[in-house]
Structure 1
Amino acid sequence: MTLNEAIASQPLWVQIWVNILFLGAFVLPLALLIWKPSRVAGLATVVASVLAGAGVYWLYGQLGYVRLLGLPHVVLWTPLLIWLWRLRAQPGMPVWPRRIILAVCTVIAISLVFDYVDAARYLLGERQPY
């Protein structure tokens, strides 16, 4: 079974969340490339998200559909979230990039809540596949 098939076997809310996550962490940051003050943020977010996605696929290949799959998000998105949040508040950042960064941070933060909980549960012994 592929990762996409495993996700498709999950409850509908999980499938919807994965689509929201894709839009918020991969697609929406591309809009940040429009404004010069937010270009690095857009590029960094897309790169971190692509690397996190690759890490999730790699872990799936190694371990299957387990709670540890969020670990690449934890490692890459935690510092990204802190940096984006600070960047959003800098003077000179135009209004629309601020709003987009806020939306991206919201999606990433929600994902990280799930990811931290799942990673902790895995480390505490819940290692069976979903």
Structure 2
Amino acid sequence: MSLNEAMAVFGPSWLRVWLPLLMLGGFIAPLVLLIWRKSRLIGAISVVAGIIAAIATDYMYKQMGYVKLLGLAHIIVWTPLIVYLILENRKDGMPVWPKRIITFMIVIIGISLVFDYVDVARYFMGNTVPLVSYEPV
């Protein structure tokens, strides 16, 4: 069972609404930032961060199953990213639409990080049993 299948089957029902929002804020919005010259580096860094976090999360799932620790990849990659986004969004000279998109990304990634920090804390407090284990096909 893939990670996406595990989340769809064993995740809470609100996850079906949240995951498309996370994809929009974490992967699609950074691609849109590539349109403007002043936001291209921000978009490129955000895309790379999203890819790294996705690959790391998938790798962790294949090693440990669907455990609360999966959020650690987001914490490691997205915590510095959100700081960078906040600092870049405060700079003068950024066009209005990139600023709005970056603000949207900060909100979405920030919400995701709250969930991730809570899940990882729960894991370290003893909630280590996988909800489902990865089984290669």
Q: TM-score range by the shorter chain?
A: over 0.9
TM-score w.r.t. length of structure 1: 0.97
CA separation in 1, counterparts of 2:34 and 2:117?
A: 29
Aligned partner of 2:42: which letter?
Answer: A
1:27 aligns with 2:20: no
1:7 aligns with 2:7: yes
Match of 1:44 in 2: 45
How far is 1:128 from its partner? 1.2
CA displacement, residues 51-108 of structure 1 (integer Å, 9 cap, x when unaligned): 0000110000000000001111000000000010110010111111100000001000
Higher mean C-alpha deviation, range 32-41 or range 11-20: 11-20
5+ residue gaps in structure 2? 132-137
5+ residue gaps in structure 1? none
TM-score w.r.t. length of structure 2: 0.92
**How much is the aligned-residue C-alpha RMSD, in angstroms?**
0.8
Q: In the comparison of the two structures, how many residue pairs are matched?
A: 130
SS in 2 for 1:12: coil
Match of 1:121 in 2: 122
CA separation in 2, counterparts of 1:65 and 1:15?
A: 16
Runs of 4+ in 1 over 6 A off after TM superposition: none
1:54 aligns with 2:90: no
* Percent identity over paired residues: 50
**Which structure carries more relative contact order (alpha carbon 8 Å, separation 6+)?**
2
